[in-house]
């Protein structure tokens, strides 16, 4: 158990809908990262937040957005969902924001768009 | 452009045999390099990482990797495979604030 929690574990929705994925980092960790893992795209870095501020942005679509709240939990919002958005979404956390930091991954949220 | 190439999407070894998983990278700046392991239905777990200093890095579960700048490689090895090593392994590079992952290598250990 990494100490990172993600809810829900599974999510089934329809095209065009909007969903919110939630991540609680390990106690004391200030950075949160979001990743998408799909069969065709592999593991893609989406975005990083550090202490409430966006720190780095990867291959995140404009239909997707994220934020980190004062209590340090983070939410990833996916809107206008398409079939291709079906994937496993991971959250990770680390103590600080540097690239040398060890990231601890949550168990993921599996999203299925029908 | 940054990228990570993992040669061999599937590798099979016998229990007790050497494990060698290959990773090559391209980076415009000195990279930080990582190996992660993913067990079925679980998140990723860091095996080891190279940031600076000694190029031979030792990680958990008996794994190690060597950073070879001249070959732009960061291959993962373990002297003796165990059944519990069967998993998906990902190499990753961080040239800056972003992270780039390889496509993964699925390791099968044959008893």
Structure-token pair, residue A39? 């069969």
Question: What confidence category does residue A4 fall into, taking pLDDT thresholds of 50, 70 and 90?
Answer: very high
Choose the weakest-confidence range: A71-75, A90-94, B29-33, B69-73: B29-33
Residues of B in contact with A56 (CB under 8 A): 96-98
- DSSP sequence for A65-110: EEEE-TTS-EEEEE-S--GGG-EEEEEEEESSSSTTSPPEE---EE
- Chosen for mutation from B31, B41, B43, B52 (greatest number of chain A CBs closer than 10 Å) is B43
Q: What angle do CA A60, A44, B88 make, to 5 degrees?
A: 160
Give the residue-averaged pLDDT of A60-65.
Answer: 95
Nearest CA in chain B to A90: B43
If phi over 0 gives left and psi between -120 and 50 gives alpha, with beta otherwise, what is residue B72? left
d(CA A52, CA B81): 42
Average the pLDDT over A53-66 and give the result: 93
Find the chain B residues whose C-beta atoms sit closer than 8 A to any C-beta of A: 32, 36, 41-46, 49, 51, 90, 94, 96-104
Q: How far is A56 from chain B (nearest CA, A)?
A: 6
- Mean pLDDT over A37-42 rounds to 87
> In angstroms, what separates the C-alpha of B18 from chain A's closest C-alpha?
27
The residues, any chain, with a CB within 8 Å of residue A20's CB and separated by 6 or more, are A75, A76, A77, A78
Per-residue pLDDT of chain B (111 residues; tens, 9 = 90+): 678 999 999 999 999 999 999 999 988 777 899 999 999 888 899 999 998 888 899 999 999 999 998 999 999 999 999 999 999 999 999 877 788 899 999 999 999
Distance between CA atoms of residues B66 and A101, nearest Å:
19
Name the residue facing A43 among B32, B49, B90 (closest C-beta). B90
């Amino acid at each position: 158990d990494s100490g990172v929690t993600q809810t829900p574990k599974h999510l089934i929705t329809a095209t065009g809908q909007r969903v919110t994925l939630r991540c609680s980092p390990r106690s004391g960790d200030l950075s949160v990262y979001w990743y998408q893992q799909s069969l065709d795209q592999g593991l893609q870095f989406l975005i990083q937040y550090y202490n409430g501020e966006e720190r780095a942005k990867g291959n995140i679509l404009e239909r997707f957005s994220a934020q980190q709240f004062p209590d340090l939990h983070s939410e990833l919002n996916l809107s206008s969902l398409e079939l291709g958005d079906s994937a496993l979404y991971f959250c990770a956390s680390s103590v600080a924001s540097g690239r040398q930091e060890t990231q601890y991954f949550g168990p993921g949220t599996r999203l299925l768009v029908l | 452009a940054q990228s990570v190439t993992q040669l061999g999407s599937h590798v099979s070894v016998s229990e007790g045999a050497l494990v060698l998983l290959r990773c090559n990278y391209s980076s415009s700046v000195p990279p930080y390099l990582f190996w992660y392991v993913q067990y079925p239905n679980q998140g990723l777990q860091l095996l080891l990482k190279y940031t600076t200093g000694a190029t031979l890095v030792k990680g958990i579960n008996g794994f190690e990797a060597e950073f070879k700048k001249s070959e732009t490689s960061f291959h993962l090895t373990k002297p003796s495979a165990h059944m519990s090593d069967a998993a998906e392994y990902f190499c990753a590079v961080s040239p800056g604030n972003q992270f780039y992952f390889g496509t993964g290598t699925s390791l099968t250990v044959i008893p």
